Every structure is written in C-alpha cells, then in structure tokens.
Amino acid sequence: MHHSLISLAGIVVLGIGAQWLAWRFRLPSILLLLLAGFVAGPIAGVIDPDALLGDTLFPVVSVSVGIILFEGGLTLRLGDIVGLRRVVFRLISVGALVTWVVASLGAYYIVGLSADVALLLGAIFIVTGPTVVIPLLKHVRPTEPMGSILKWEGILIDPVGATVAVLILEAILAGRLGNGALGPIVLGMAETLAVGAALGWLGAQALIQLFKRYWVPEELQNPFAVMTIVSLFALSNELQPESGLLTTTVMGMVLANQRQISTRHLSQFKEDIGVLLLSGLFIILAARLELEQLSNLSGRALAFLALLIFIARPLSVLASTAGSSLSWRERAFLAWMAPRGIVAVSVASLFALQLGQAGVPGAESLVPLTFVMVVGTVVIYSASATRVAAWLGVAQPQARGVLIVGAHSWAREIAKALAGTGHTVHLVDTNWQNVSAARLAGLTATYANALSEHLLDEIDLTQISRLLALTSNDEVNSLAALHFADHLGRERVFQLPMHSNTPDRRGLNLQQHGRCLFQRRATFDYLQQRFDQGAVLKTVKLTKEHTYQDFLNVYGDSAIPLYLIDENGELRLMTTDNGPTPRAGHRLTALVDPIDRALPETARIQEARARVPQRDGS
C-alpha cells in the first residue's frame, strides 16, 4: 500500500513537474516526460506501473487516450482548413498507406522481423498523434496552414492507425494473415468507421440537446461530458475493437463545429484533464520499459528510425500533397514533422502481450522498437523543427502584440508609446469616433465589441501576447480579461483597478478579473484626471548612474510607472501583484507631471539627490 501510494504520487509529481520545467526553460515537454519516466522506472525502480495498476493498466491508458482525442477533436474547426481538406484526407488515407508499406518493408528487411510482425509494426507506426504533435506545434509555432494540417492529421490518424493495427493483430492470431485477409481488413475498417462515426455523432447531439435545454446544471456539465465520453468509448470498443478512439474524436469535432451551445468551458476543462492524463501516460509507459530489452537492440533499430524519418514520411507527404496549393517550403516542413507518441507505445505494449501469450516469434521486439522510435522521432523533431521552420521561412515570429480594449484619448497615447518600442498594438472599441481617431493617428483599430466571438476571426491572436482592458467600465474590463484568458493565459490579461464604488468589488476573486495594472489608485477616473491636468508619458533609460530611485526622487510620488522594456526588448507591465523590478538596462515608461524641461535630466537628478538627506533629516 505504501509503495503504491509513492508510485501514484510520483507519477503526478514527475508528470506535472516535467511540464512546468519544460515551460520554465522553453523545452519540449515530451522529452522531459520520457526522461523522467525512464529514470523513475527502469533505472531507479521507484515507479512500477504494472504492480500499481495490474490488469487495469491498458484499459486506463486506452480510456485516457480517448479523452485526449476528444479534447483534440474540440480544436478541429472546419474553417481552419478551407481548401485543404483534401490534403488532410489524403494524409490519413494515401499517406497512411505509404507509411504502412514503407515501415513494414523496413521492419522485415532491416530489423529482420517476420512478415506478420513486420506488417503489424508498420501499422503501429502509421500514427503520429496529438499527444506529441500539438505540444511541438505550440513550441515551433509554424505559419498556417501547416499548423492546422498537422493538428488535423495528428488527431485523425490515431484512430486510423490503431484500427489497422488491431485488424492485422486479429488476422495474425486467427492464422489467416496473407490468406485472403485483405477483404476482412477492408470490411473491418468500414465497420470501425461506421460505428465510430455514428456513436460519436449521436453522443455529441445528445450533449448538445441536454445542455441547450439546461437539463444538466452547469456545475455538472463537465463531469457529465466525461461520463458520456467514457461510456461511449467503452460501448464503441465492445461493438467494434478500437473504434472508441474514432468515437471520441468525432464527438469533439461535432461539438467544435456547431453553434447551438458554447464549448468554451468544455475545452478548458478537457485541456486541464488532457495535460494531467498526457503527463501521467508518458511517465507510466516510459517507466514500463526494461533495460534488458533496450540492450538487445542493434544498430538496425537506428537504421529503421532513419527510414521512418527520411523516406517514409517524405514519401507520404509527397503522395498526399500532389496537386495541392502548398508551396515546396510548406511541403518540406510537413515532411519534417511526424513524431510518434502515446498511442504507438500503448498499442505496441498491449499487442506484444497478446502475441507473446500466443507464442508468436518476434513479439518481444515490439515494445523496445516502438519506444526507440518514439524517443528517436521526438528527440530529432523537437531538437530540429524550430530551426527547420525558421530556415524554410514558415515559422511565425514571436508573439509581441498587445490588444488594448478601449481607444479613448489616453489609451491611444499608451498605444503609440508601445508601438514605438516595436510591439504591434491593436485597439478595439465600440465608439466609432475613438476608432476613427486611432486610425488617423496611424494605429490599428477595430470597431467591435471585445466580447464578440467575431472579433476572434478579425484579429490574428497568434501575434497577440497580452491584453490590456482600459475602458471606463469595470465589468467590461473584467469580462474582456476572462474572455481572452482562455486564449492568452490568465497571467497575460490585464485590466485597470476597479473603482472604489464598484458594487461587490471586494467580493471578486482572482478568477473573476484580470491582473491589475500599474497601481491601486490608477483607476480609469484617476488616470483620466491626470491626463486632463497635463500629465505626460515619460520614457527613461535606467542605468547604474541614473537608477529607478533617482527617477522617483525627480518625479515624486505622483509618478505612475506603466511598463518596462527589458534588455531583450520584451514588454513587462507594471502590476499590483508580482510586478517586475526596474533595474539598470531597462527602459521605463511612466505617467508623470510635467516639470521644468529647461533643466537637464542630470541636473534634476543631482538636485533631487541633494534634497533627499535634508528631507530625511527633517
């Protein structure tokens, strides 16, 4: 009992800890997850998934992958691939067939597996999977449409590859592979498609109708959705093996492309669950590996890895994108992005167990080979994809844009100052005069409601890194912060401090508004009054000789620091919670009262320094 508790806690701590370290040091999370699981399992022996979960190990892994695919399906909007649906369809059909053939031939001639096991291994390597593709896409940030194509392929290819692999496994165990097996395999694919699509569509429609009629209270909608996913996943697999993955994927896709109910709360909840499940799965499956299995692998495994990367994937993309509008640079990047993940490892682990029990020779090679392919593809693509995307010119620039809600006079002043630092600034306002004035000032401004879903289609959120809600309405500011927190992250949405007379101001918690900008006193009315009285924006370069304290001594307590530009040109907003500390090398912009401009800055600092001891001693 004690060891099981330690193992369970270790999976959670290592999984989430690896995710946090990856975020902190800007590394691909998959690499740290695999390393943590490998160290905790075969090397340290702290985690033993088989002893912990026993016979429930593979059902737990299977259901977890189903939930992850549902969460991925919620991101598949048909509008993202307008004009490129044929490419996606061919990648999961023609491309999958090419990968299967090339991988099977490689497993037979290079690795030396039997024909049956080689065909099975080739089918397993059809899959790429969202568990590895989506984290890499977030890390690499390719331009569209490559990001959407790879996301669609990664999510849809899992059910395809898993289904083909299951049908090959059944043929092997029945002793009829190669003896009229093509017909049953094609029939099995059709049955899987029919069962998965039908149950997925019915499940999504059931959720839509129940939620639309408010027959499920809001606090139970997320748990109810999980119940539906798990139950339909199990039912689908009972009707047709491995069709459950397609069922959950179709459910997510249908919900993502309907307009009857909002799926934002579902997306956020499933994303949180997805991170937890993804982290745990990588730790568990990496911890199951045995060092003896890896030691038995020869250089043939590396040759097989090279085959998958340099031959199978490029041929698959070449066949799938023929005649499309994609440029050669875009096709080249697609050809350099096919990491394998959770589904490949979990399917191989389950099949190796079944083949081993049936006495099929070569079954013991499935797991170590698959693990090497997963680690190899993840390491190679993770280490090189960012540079390849930059070399091909298909990488998005680092998001440095600022979206400002409110285009009134002093918001425009702040926007112009920010634009002068090299940051892209986009203003949005429901007042046409404000929008017109912003455009006349050379700023980008949109006449729209910040809470409108249509605004998300009009602006490029991939280039926006922060939101500043600067309107006179506290409720609008809070709602705008909440609205964009799902897209930018809660730590990157900011709003003005609330007015002291705002109803229930003290009853709001941190989850109901954005981070407060500048200082507690810097409400809209206060800032408006200061600007009306002639206050101006002042930017100074802080040095060891001219420090932040010198700045405060010169401009007094009335100065309100607004933001910093650090040594790397990054924007750091001053906030009431854990704001940045100004130091030498930063450029500080603050709201200050105008002072004698005829007096040089150095003289004003020296005069202010001379006054400090007298004031302290009085």
What pLDDT shows up at residue 615? 43
- Residue from 97, 269, 58 nearest 186 by CA: 97
pLDDT in tens, 111-120: 888 888 888 8
> What's the CA gap between 464 and 396, in Å, rounded?
12
Mean model confidence pLDDT for the chain: 81
Tell me where in the chain the CATH 1.20.1530.20 domain(s) lie.
Answer: 56-392
> What's the CA gap between 584 and 372, in Å, rounded?
48
Tell me where in the chain the CATH 3.40.50.720 domain(s) lie.
Answer: 401-617
Average pLDDT, integer, range 586-591: 88
Q: Which helix (H) or strand (E) holds 111?
A: none
Q: Torsions phi, psi of 575, nearest 5? A: -135, 170
The CA-atom distances, in angstroms, between 339 and each of 70, 315, 320, 393, 583 are: 20, 16, 18, 21, 43
Lowest mean pLDDT among 172-181, 266-275, 502-511: 502-511
**How many other β-carbons are positioned within 10 Å of the β-carbon of residue 232?**
24
Sign of CA dihedral 155, 159, 160, 166: positive
Q: What angle do CA 462, 464, 465 make, to 5 degrees?
A: 110
Amino acid in the structure at residue 475: E
> What's the CA gap between 569 and 185, in Å, rounded?
57
Do residues 340 and 122 make contact, with C-beta atoms less than 8 angstroms apart? no
Please spell the DSSP secondary structure of 530-541, one letter per residue: HHHTT-EEEEEE
What pLDDT shows up at residue 4? 79
Lowest mean pLDDT among 259-263, 420-424, 425-429: 259-263
- Residue from 341, 329, 328, 348 nearest 382 by CA: 341
Strand ranges, E, within 318-415? 401-405
Instruction: Examine the pLDDT at 507 and tell me if it is beyond 60.
Output: no
Q: In what order do the strands lie in the sheet with 493-495?
A: 444-447, 425-429, 401-405, 464-469, 493-495, 515-516
Best mean pLDDT range from 26-35, 289-298, 593-602: 26-35
Do residues 546 and 582 make contact, with C-beta atoms less than 8 angstroms apart? no
Q: In what order do the strands lie in the sheet with 587-592?
A: 536-541, 587-592, 560-565, 571-573
- The residue assigned the tokens 């989430």 is 16
Average pLDDT, integer, range 271-295: 76
pLDDT in tens, 242-280: 788 888 888 988 888 888 887 776 766 666 777 788 788
- Residue from 127, 229, 123 nearest 177 by CA: 123
> What's the CA gap between 64 and 159, in Å, rounded?
14
| pTM listed for this prediction | 0.68
Tell me the helix, strand and coil percentages in the chain, rounded to 5: 65, 10, 25
- 386-390 long-range contacts (CB < 8 A, ≥24 apart) are 386/139, 386/140, 388/332, 388/333, 388/336, 389/140, 389/141, 389/142, 389/333
pLDDT in tens, 64-73: 878 877 877 7
Instruction: Pull the structure tokens for residue 272.
Output: 């949180």
Do residues 450 and 462 make contact, with C-beta atoms less than 8 angstroms apart? no
CATH number, domain 56-392: 1.20.1530.20
What pLDDT shows up at residue 453? 66
Instruction: Examine the pLDDT at 598 and tell me if it is beyond 60.
Output: no
Size of the chain in residues? 618
What pLDDT shows up at residue 504? 47
Share of the chain above pLDDT 70, in %: 86
- 497-506 long-range contacts (CB < 8 A, ≥24 apart) are 497/521, 497/522, 497/523, 497/576, 498/474, 498/523, 499/474, 499/523, 499/524, 499/525, 502/474, 505/474
Q: What angle do CA 509, 512, 518 make, to 5 degrees?
A: 80
pLDDT in tens, 17-61: 888 888 777 776 777 887 888 888 878 778 888 788 777 877 887
532: CB partners within 8 A, 6+ apart: none
Do residues 248 and 68 make contact, with C-beta atoms less than 8 angstroms apart? no
Burial group, residue 94, by CB count within 10 angstroms (0-12, 13-18, 19+): middle
> What's the CA gap between 97 and 93, in Å, rounded?
6
- 170-173 long-range contacts (CB < 8 A, ≥24 apart) are 170/241, 172/116, 172/117, 172/120, 172/355, 172/360, 173/354, 173/355, 173/358
What pLDDT shows up at residue 201? 93
Q: Which helix (H) or strand (E) holds 543?
A: none
pLDDT in tens, 297-335: 678 888 999 999 999 999 999 999 988 888 899 999 999
Q: Where does the pLDDT of residue 185 fall: very low under 50, low under 70, confident under 90, or very high at 90 and above? A: low
Strand ranges, E, within 338-420? 401-405
Answer whether CATH 3.40.50.720 is correct for domain 401-617.
yes
For residues 182 and 229, the model is more confident at 229
- Residue from 88, 28, 91, 86 nearest 313 by CA: 91
